[in-house]
Amino acid sequence: MENVLKVGLDFAAPIPLHTDISSKKFEGFEVDLMNEIAKELSVALEHKVAYWEDIIADIIHQKIDIICSAATVTEKRKEIVAFSNPYLNFHLALVCNKDNIVALKDLKDKNIGVRISSEAEEYLKKNFPEKELFLFDTNDEQYGRLTEKEIDALIDDTPIAYGFVENNSAIVMAEIIKSTPSQYAIIINKENIDLLNQINSALDKFEKNGYLQDRRDFWFKDTQL
């Protein structure tokens, strides 16, 4: 590994995991985490922003070293990439406009939004196969449509839903979907075992010394995820 760690970021910034790197202030849970990992590994960070499919391709072709951008651990993804130890546990959530709160069981009659290529999309296809979904490229777009009541609800990861709800009084996290326990972890090329071991060692250290829990409490204020 060189002294620069190339980090892939999703074009649809998953606030509060991280903001858009071109925004006025690049910050978030994963920004803090990666800065701490960079110190531990004595490397500088270089970021590349792209759509999800593109940063996955970049990992596979070793154009970047890692992805740290709300990457959910899945068995399907494990077939093509490696994952670090997880650093955040969460579920999927149903998010509604506060003037139009609907129940999960009633979604078959509603207009449902979801971000393309997300685990939320996979959940909806599996559980509501007859539904025509409203698909969005970015989080800002889908939450904006919900705010304007152009869709009835959306499904998203609880950490991301939390970030948008905290900053938008028009929407609420109506229901946490308990049947969807999930974890975020860092994605690494399967062949880069040395880097995987270094990152896992750092994550183990941060879990034991309380750093990870401190950052969870700071960014999510002990909110149920």
Count of other CB atoms within 10 angstroms of residue 203: 22
pLDDT at position 23: 87
SS3 letters across 8-23: EEECCCCCCCCCCCCC
Mean pLDDT (the chain) is 95
Q: Which fold has domain 89-181?
A: D-Maltodextrin-Binding Protein; domain 2 (3.40.190)
The model's pLDDT over 66-88, given as tens digits with 9 standing for 90+, comes to 999 999 999 999 999 999 999 99
Task: List residues bridging with 153 in a β-sheet.
Answer: 96, 112
Segment 41-58 shows an average pLDDT of: 95
Provide the residue ranges of all domains of the chain, joining segments of one domain with +: 4-87+185-220, 89-181
Which CATH number does 4-87+185-220 carry?
A: 3.40.190.10
- Is the Cα torsion angle 130, 89, 162, 100 positive or negative in sign? positive
- Quickly state the pLDDT bin for 2 (edges 50, 70, 90): low
Given a cut of 80, whether residue 107 has pLDDT beyond it is: yes
CA distance 214 to 137: 32
Given a cut of 60, whether residue 203 has pLDDT beyond it is: yes
Count of other CB atoms within 10 angstroms of residue 196: 19
Helix 158-166 vs helix 139-147: crossing angle, to nearest 10: 50
Segment 2-11 shows an average pLDDT of: 92
Only one residue has tokens 């393309």, namely 116
Please enumerate in sequence order all residues whose Cβ is within 8 A of that of 202, keeping only pairs 6 or more positions apart, or say none. Answer: 36, 37, 40, 41
Cβ 81 vs Cβ 188: under 8 Å: yes
pLDDT at position 163: 93
CA distance 44 to 37: 10
The model's pLDDT over 18-30, given as tens digits with 9 standing for 90+, comes to 999 998 899 999 9
The DSSP call for residue 45 is E
The DSSP call for residue 28 is S
